[in-house]
Amino acid sequence: MNAFIQGLPKVELHLHIEGSLEPELLFTLAQRNNINLPYSSPEALRKAYEFDDLQSFLDIYYQGANALITEQDFYDLTWAYLQRCHSDKVMHTEIFFDPQTHTERGIAFDTVINGIYRALQDGQHKLAISSHIIMCFLRHLSEESAIDTLKRALDHKDKIIGVGLDSSEQGHPPKKFQNVFTQARDEGFLTVAHAGEEGPAQNIVDAIDILGVSRVDHGVRCVDSPELLDSLVESQMPLTVCPLSNIKLRVFDDMSQHNIVELLRRGVAVTINSDDPAYFGGYMTDNFQAVSAAHAMTYNELAQFTLNAIDASFIDPSLKHEYRRRVEEYLGKSI
Ligand code: HPA
Ligand code: ZN
């Protein structure tokens, strides 16, 4: 089973590029940029990655992002992630970035996006990995700040396919961002939002109805509402589920309690993703393996996660067709 998972072609739809900053690279960047870290070594930092909930993670995650200063830093961060994608057989990835985390501390929007974009272009040319960029608004900040960020993104419309919503879900419901999401859609951006990770099922309903999302990020609390569950099956609204993240942030007690396989079997369009792999203990293959170790699944079920992700992705129909063909070819060889 592990060999099947390792070789399975994959598509990632929920990855915060700042969350792929490994302690070793963080130390390299801190040294390069003359930043003092309150840890003696990458190992000591890794030991601090014990979280009680989303907020305790976010505090450490924003601290880590402070080491990112130059365009080259953002390039190196993204390039390191793409190399992991390459070993994990990821054909396509749609990555989030949090511009406000950087602009709030004086880093130019252009510095961030240009570094990430240049690495993704190299990923396409040198590793044959296709990609899109999604810009997330931080929901603990105001809607005015999100509107200001949207304005800065207009010069980079060619590089950014959509907007999303991340950070602290509790106390910051989708409705707070209704206006900026309407403006983003009017400008031609696709929309996604984190909802139903720690927050209630109603946030999933509101992300769909008020923010007009094409996908729901996380969404695992949908099981609290039977009507919502039925409508997700009916509409085939995709959920970008992040299994290792959910365990690390204590959304579920352990992987055997996770509902992703139950949702798959109910016919919900669930996908497997890594969220913040440097902090949560694993990239795409690790996430597939952790789910499979806790829930017996067939090859077809495992491949269904990739087929769901291909359908849910923002790639054009001909490339979707080619990626589906690769999964089917792999299944044909494996069975
Ligand atoms: N949830 C909310 N915000 C985030 C996450 C997450 O899992 N990762 C990075 N920002
Ligand atoms: Zn996330």
Q: In the predicted model, what is the mean pLDDT of residues 84-93?
A: 98
Residue 335 lies in a domain: no
Which phi and psi (to 5°) does residue 103 adopt? -65, -30
| All residues with CB under 5 Å from ion ligand 2 | 275
The pLDDT assigned to 335 comes to 76
Is 275 near ligand 1, meaning CB less than 6 Å away?
A: yes
- Residues of the chain above pLDDT 70, percent: 100
Q: What average pLDDT score do residues 36-57 get?
A: 93
The minimum-distance atom of ligand 1 relative to the CA of 61 is 9
Nearest CA owner, ligand 1 atom 3: 167
Is 75 in contact with 116 (CB distance < 8 Å)?
yes
Query: Does the active-site annotation cover 50?
Result: no
| CA 205 to ligand 1 center in whole angstroms | 19
Ligand 1 touching residue 165 (CB < 6 A):
no
Q: Which of 62, 58, 51, 133 is nearest to 92 (CA)?
A: 133
The CA distances from residue 67 to 81, 82, 89, 196, 324, in Å, are 16, 20, 29, 30, 39
Q: Please state, in angstroms and rounded to a whole number, the distance separating the CA atoms of residues 136 and 155.
A: 16
Q: Is residue 127 part of a domain?
A: yes
pLDDT in tens, 125-164: 999 999 999 999 999 999 999 999 999 999 999 999 999 9
Residue 226 lies in a domain: yes
State how far Cα 247 lies from the chain centre: 16
C-alpha span between 29 and 37 (Å, rounded): 11
| pTM more than 0.75 | yes
For 313, residues 6+ apart whose C-beta sits below 8 A from its C-beta are: 11, 13, 92, 94, 132, 320
Q: Is 240 in the pocket of ligand 1 (CB under 6 A)?
A: no
CA pair distance 215, 96, nearest whole angstrom = 13
- In a domain, residue 174? The reply is yes
Q: Summarize the confidence of residues 215-238 as an average pLDDT.
A: 98
SS3 147: helix
Whether the per-residue pLDDT at 33 is higher than 90: the answer is yes
- Domain count of the fold of the chain: 1
Q: What does the pLDDT look like over 198-212, one tens digit per residue?
A: 999 999 999 999 999
Domain assignment present for residue 200? The answer is yes
Domain that holds residue 53: 2-328
User: Which range among 34-38, 117-121, 241-245 shows the weakest confidence by mean pLDDT?
Assistant: 34-38
Is 87 a domain residue? yes
Task: Output the pLDDT for position 130.
Answer: 98
pLDDT tier at 121, thresholds 50, 70, 90: very high
Closest among 49, 10, 62, 69 to 77, alpha carbons compared: 69
Domain-embedded: residue 334: no
Q: Is 276 annotated as a binding residue?
A: yes
- Confidence (pLDDT) at 231: 98
Cβ atoms < 10 Å from Cβ of 65: 20
- Work out the mean pLDDT of the chain and round it to a whole number: 97
| pLDDT for 225 beyond 80 | yes
Distance 61 CA to ligand 1 centre (A): 9
112 within domain boundaries: yes
What's the confidence (pLDDT) of residue 302? 98
Q: How far is CA 199 from CA 4, 136, 209, in A?
A: 35, 18, 16
Q: What is the CATH number of the domain that holds 64?
A: 3.20.20.140
Does any ligand 1 atom lie closer than 6 A to the CB of residue 167?
A: yes
pLDDT of 1: 79
pLDDT of residue 142: 98
Model pLDDT, residue 324: 98
Q: Let me know the angle formed at the C-alpha of 220 by 133 and 1, rounded to the nearest 5 degrees.
A: 80
pLDDT digits (tens, 9 = 90+) for 1-26: 799 999 999 999 999 999 999 999 99
Are 252 and 246 within 8 A, CB to CB? yes
Angle between helices 299-312 and 284-294 (to 10 degrees): 140
Distance 199 CA to ligand 1 centre (A): 12
